[in-house]
Amino acid sequence: MAPLTAAPTADTMLAKKKAVPRSRRYAGGLPLALTAIFAVIGILVFALVLDAGTDTDAANNRQPGPQPESPRICRIRDARCAELEVGSIGLVQYAILPSRGKPKGLILAEVGGPGGHTLARSDRATLGLPSQLDSFDILVINEPWRDDEADAGCKDALTNFASSIGDEGQTGSATAACQLSVWTEKSYRLAVQSIADRERQAITGIVGHSFGALPATAAAKAFPDAFLLLSAPIAPPTVPGSQVVADRRFSVETALDQSYARQCKILGFDCSLTGTQVATSAIARTSPIVVTSRSKPVTNSDVAVATLAALYGIDTNERWLWKTLAQLPDLDPESTAQVGKFADQLLMRHGSGNIAPGLGAFIEGFCTSYTGWSPDTETSKGPSSFLRDLGMQCAQTHVSAGWNLDGVGERTGPTCIYGNEADPVTPNVWAVQWAQLLPKAALVQYRHNGHASLSIATSSVFAGQCPIIGGS
């Protein structure tokens, strides 16, 4: 599992043209692992600039079509990056990572989202791709939203949303204020087909991790003979939006309770309590804490968001999490700053409290993926407050879903689904639901404490359980 990318600061913002480090160790040598931060929430914070040492025109002699233009933003090493104008969508950015040796085919990989910049990842490892796919060329596509779509009104709405997580009576619609471009079934299939036509390569396999399950399944209907592999998938589009949030909240509380049960005796804490109780109590007793290294104090909303964020890599983060929550609000400045960094990462917050447009794209993409949104009546502030407020955003504006399963029964290619029984981000029940909806799908289950990448999932299952790429 890759370590946490450091939370952005004034020195690492886009205007400065510097890349955010892919790893950093904080106080006590603790690697704050948040791989796939937001994988249901699919967001990793990167400085989206072209690395001077990146060859965006890396040779790929198997490309028979016209040499495309290199996109302005592409940091994937050894990849051929390109841009393509696609109808009403506009500019679509993508990259092809060449295979190691003679390619067996071309695989479309959707590794998370919404709200991320896939081309800002650096290589196959940071994309979470397992070595079993090394013999394939890999196609990855950037989401259609652009930073410059976010005007002042959008940025203000995002800042207000992020600063009032868990507060009663939160008002304002970030989706109405931003309206950033996000994929839908129709636009994504058009983009993929246009890229495949330009590259003159058939797509032989499709991989969808976490939120990527939705666009991956849409593409799989356009390429019915290709194999389809879903890993730790988000809920199918048939699940009502409010149920998606309810399932996610249940998985958060379950993961917190199980994590605390593993650590309470070791740390000398009261094991008669649940992890959810401990976290909720720590959030409630925290007043704003001023830290000299931050422009804004760390609030109880930050503690709530940081607790949620820590679950993405809870296998690494749990001892830090419970020690920190136990000491609140009497934390030393360095530990307090760590809490803020966790919250910053998940909220895409930087500088003096500014929120990156990617959070707006995440909210828009998540809300438009499902129907059946209704306001949550929960009023107490806790580790799931972000999820509650996300659902409130969706309930304000969205009545139609951007994805569907129409035509999925016509697929002929093999399908595998990896479900993590201990996933706090994409509950295992969603993998089971996908297996019931997709024809002849093989469901392979494993257990990993945290939100596992496809690479971790593949190493956690036995070879032969999935006839597509196997396991360890």
What is the per-residue pLDDT across 398-423, written as a single tens digit (0 to 9) for each?
A: 667 789 999 888 899 999 999 999 99
What mean pLDDT value characterizes the chain? Answer: 82
Give the pLDDT of residue 454. 85
Question: pLDDT band for position 470 (50/70/90)?
Answer: low
Say yes or no to pLDDT of 261 above 90: yes
Place of tokens 């409130």: 392
Question: pLDDT band for position 293 (50/70/90)?
Answer: confident
Say yes or no to pLDDT of 469 above 50: yes
Question: pLDDT band for position 72 (50/70/90)?
Answer: low
d(CA 222, CA 224): 6
Place of tokens 């720590």: 282
Question: pLDDT band for position 6 (50/70/90)?
Answer: very low
Query: Rounded mean pLDDT of 262-282?
Result: 97
Lowest mean per-residue pLDDT among 67-71, 255-259, 312-316, 387-391: 67-71
Cβ–Cβ < 8 Å for 162, 299: no
Query: Rounded mean pLDDT of 147-174?
Result: 84
Lowest mean per-residue pLDDT among 47-56, 167-176, 308-317, 330-339: 47-56
Give the pLDDT of residue 171. 63
Lowest mean per-residue pLDDT among 2-11, 118-127, 372-381: 2-11
> Measuring CA to CA, how many Å separate 15 from each of 9, 180, 186, 352?
11, 21, 34, 14
Question: pLDDT band for position 364 (50/70/90)?
Answer: very high
SS3 446: strand
Query: Rounded mean pLDDT of 432-437?
Result: 96
Give the pLDDT of residue 34. 39
Question: pLDDT band for position 175 (50/70/90)?
Answer: confident
In this structure, what are the phi and psi dihedrals at residue 229, rounded to the nearest 5 degrees? -125, 120
Cβ–Cβ < 8 Å for 30, 320: yes
Lowest mean per-residue pLDDT among 111-115, 144-148, 373-377, 418-422: 373-377
Strand partners, 69: none
Torsion, CA 75, CA 62, CA 183, CA 239, rounded to 10 = -110
Give the pLDDT of residue 26. 29
| pLDDT > 70: percent of the chain | 81
Question: pLDDT band for position 463 (50/70/90)?
Answer: low
Query: Rounded mean pLDDT of 48-62?
Result: 25
- Max mean pLDDT range (35-44, 67-76, 252-261): 252-261
Nearest to 43 by CA among 346, 317, 462: 346
Query: Rounded mean pLDDT of 14-41?
Result: 34
User: Residue 431 corresponds to which tokens in the numbers above?
Assistant: 């993998």
Give the pLDDT of residue 327. 96
Say yes or no to pLDDT of 103 above 60: yes
Q: Is the peptide bond before 467 cis (omega within 30 degrees of 0)?
A: no
Query: Rounded mean pLDDT of 162-173?
Result: 78
Give the pLDDT of residue 231. 94
Say yes or no to pLDDT of 1 above 90: no
Work out whether strand 349-350 and strand 354-355 pair parallel, antiparallel, or are unpaired.
antiparallel
Query: Rounded mean pLDDT of 177-202?
Result: 93
Query: Rounded mean pLDDT of 265-279?
Result: 97
Give the pLDDT of residue 401. 78
Question: pLDDT band for position 17 (50/70/90)?
Answer: very low
Give the pLDDT of residue 169. 60
Query: Rounded mean pLDDT of 30-39?
Result: 39
Give the pLDDT of residue 48. 22
d(CA 105, CA 126): 21
Nearest to 363 by CA among 131, 87, 41: 41
